[in-house]
Amino acid sequence: AMAVQLKGRKHELALQLTKLNALSPLDTLARGYGICRAMPDGHVISGINQVESGQKVEVVLHDGWMECSVMRKGEGKIDR
């Protein structure tokens, strides 16, 4: 009885861990997403109106980062 209960708890824990990993920023980055941050203060850029042409930004990926310059920007939906 105790072994069955322990097995159930382990399964429950594994399910919770899977859900938690789905929310992990690191797992999101590993799926191909990035985080764009303004330089030099490092605040996260979530909208096009937070940057200007010529501004330097830092893009964080799952395996590192890169410094980039905004060449141009546009508003509206992106094509997929």
pLDDT (tens digit, 9 = 90+) per residue, 7-33?
A: 999 999 999 998 888 888 888 888 889
CA-closest candidate to residue 36, choices 55, 19, 58: 58
pLDDT of 79 > 90? The answer is no
Mean of pLDDT values over 24-53: 92
Mean of pLDDT values over 45-54: 94
Mean of pLDDT values over 55-62: 96
CA-CA-CA-CA torsion sign (26, 77, 71, 46):
negative
